[in-house]
Amino acid sequence: MQEFISFAAHILAPLNKFLEDHRNKKKSYCPSKKTENSLQWIRKAKKSFNLAEKALVDSTLLKYTIPGAQISLWTDVAIRSSLMQLCNNKWEQIAVLSMKLRKSQRNLSLLSDRDLYAIYASIKKVRHIREGRNISI
């Protein structure tokens, strides 16, 4: 999902936290039985789920790659990136990446290590598209 939706990690963060908290507190969760351990939606988790669902539906706006088109990777320190291609003098999105930083990664200095890690992680994810092609960052 994170390869197709911009800001997927950001959108899913409340839902992931909710599920982690629930798993840590109630280890005997069984979805087929109504028990006191049943998973109860909270407002933030439901909103996160609905946003992710909408983003997934809207993600059909990604374009197919054009052989020989100039491609560029746009990224930021929050590990959000888009792989873009130039078509008719207009940049089109062909892939997106969004990921959550681990605690150790959040301690990296803002302007150097995080930037380099964002570029590294993004290039690694889109290897199948960029192989054999020049890419600008």
So where are the chain's domains? Answer: 1-28+41-61, 62-129
- pLDDT for 38: 58
| Six-digit token string for 128 | 């199948």
Distances, alpha carbon 75 to alpha carbons 1, 4, 34, 84, in Å? 18, 15, 45, 11
| Six-digit token string for 42 | 């909270």
Distances, alpha carbon 6 to alpha carbons 23, 25, 42, 96, 124, in Å? 27, 31, 24, 6, 17
Residues 90-101: tens digit of each pLDDT? 888 888 887 777
- Which segment of 3-7, 79-83, 126-130 scores lowest on mean pLDDT? 3-7
CATH number for the region 62-129 comes to 3.10.20.370
Residues 99-126: tens digit of each pLDDT? 777 777 777 666 667 778 778 888 888 7
**More confident of the two residues 105 and 2:** 105
What's the whole-number mean pLDDT along residues 64-73? Answer: 86
